[in-house]
């Protein structure tokens, strides 16, 4: 598994399709700008997937703070 250097998404491989659809960049442009995708060991991948699943249970307070920060940064 690899970690996309742009969005941090776990992908089987950093493909041209992912780069084009998500970032409107060819894979080689992504690598040139952001560096090569990081290889994630399978054991670590399972831990990350578990973390993502747990992170999907978002409490209201967890949501409001980044949301407020987002609005604040957007207005400036």
Minimum CB distance to Zn ion smaller for 2 or for 4: 4
Selected from 22, 34, 40, 45, the binder of Zn ion by CB under 5 A is 22
52 contributes a contact to Zn ion by CB under 5 A:
no
Window contacting Zn ion (CB under 5 A); options: 14-22, 34-42, 50-58, 62-70: 14-22
The beta-carbon contacts of 20-25 under 8 Å, at least 24 apart in sequence, are none
Contact 38, 7 (CB under 8 A): no
Rounded Cα distance between 37 and 20, Å, is: 15
4 contributes a contact to Zn ion by CB under 5 A:
yes
Task: Give the DSSP H or E segment for 44.
Answer: helix 42-55
**Contact positions toward Zn ion, by CB under 5 A?**
4, 6-7, 9, 22
């Amino acid at each position: 598994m690899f970690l996309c250097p742009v969005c941090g998404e776990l992908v089987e491989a950093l493909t041209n399709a992912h780069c084009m659809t998500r970032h409107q960049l060819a894979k080689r442009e992504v690598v040139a700008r952001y560096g090569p995708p990081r290889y994630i060991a399978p054991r670590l991948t399972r831990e990350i997937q578990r973390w993502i699943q747990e992170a999907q249970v978002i409490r209201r307070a967890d949501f409001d703070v980044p949301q407020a920060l987002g609005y604040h940064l957007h207005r400036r």
